[in-house]
Amino acid sequence: MSTGQRKNSRYDFSQIIEYSLQSSPTDKFLKGIIHDFSHSGLCMITNYPLSDGEEILIRSILTDDSRAAIVRWTIQMGNNTIKVGLEFKK
């Protein structure tokens, strides 16, 4: 668990997830790996370039529901790998 300057505690977690872009609603899902999560959002690793402010839909692995999130920051890690900070929409 890590806190830093955050309102909510973050918990380390590694799980493959699927997400789609709100800007192009199709049945095409992209893949990412959760790095950590909190009540308000998560950090994921992906190889698809996302932009600050972009909205995505995260597909739940437990139900048929999807959860909307907003890209708050991105860090280029190298080798087409990007770390993305996501805030869940309310």
What's this model's pTM, rounded to 2 decimal places? Answer: 0.82
pLDDT tens readout for residues 39-85: 899 999 999 999 999 999 998 766 678 889 999 999 999 899 999 99
Decide if 54 contacts 69 (C-beta within 8 A): no
CATH of domain 11-88: 2.40.10.220
pLDDT tens readout for residues 13-29: 888 999 999 877 667 88
Count CA within 13 A, CB hemisphere, residue 15: 14
